[in-house]
Amino acid sequence: MNRRLFLAAAAAIVPSLALAQGHGSHGSAAANPAVFRIGALVIEAPWTRATPGGARVAGGFMTIRNTGTLPDRLVGGTFPGAPRVEVHEMAMADGMMRMRELRGGLEIPAGGSVQLRPGGYHMMFMELGEPVRAGAPLRGTLVFEKAGTIEIAYDVAPVGAPGPAGHGAARH
């Protein structure tokens, strides 16, 4: 990933990193979060942020629970206006925040859950053809290695929002 694309991607993902850290597994939950199910997987409260004009990337966030007895892997998806969707991780390495694609996907452990949130695991919507605008939810898909493909709707929060519109990141 070249430096310019990394900086743009980090700008799309990091604005609420300070707010999202230290809140454990609670995150920011909507009063009536959207819930989607496929097989043993439960996808809760998918959301993204609106992007400023000229931004070519955006991030997707949610919680994925696996109620089954076998692990599965999130391996990709689709998003309107993004020809590429990747599963990414941001983590501290040598004192610097680094982002990378998880080429083998993200394991969703049996009986466990994984949070996709700003500053951690997230979906990366690449090469956006136009800005993501706050307002109506946007339909996309998630692709799992075993469970298959499911259509979901991402709520769209304002630019820089720490969580879905109308909900603070400090909820416990």
Q: How large is the average pLDDT for residues 103-118? A: 97
Nearest to 124 by CA among 83, 166, 163, 160: 83
Whether 29 shows a pLDDT value over 50: the answer reads no
Q: Does 156 score more than 50 pLDDT?
A: yes
Strands 84-93 and 135-144: unpaired
Model confidence pLDDT, tens digit, residues 68-105: 999 999 999 999 999 999 999 998 888 998 999 999 99
Q: What is the pLDDT of residue 75?
A: 98
Whether residue 31 has pLDDT greater than 80: no
Closest CA to 59 of 161, 151, 171: 161
What token pair was written down for 72? 């599965």
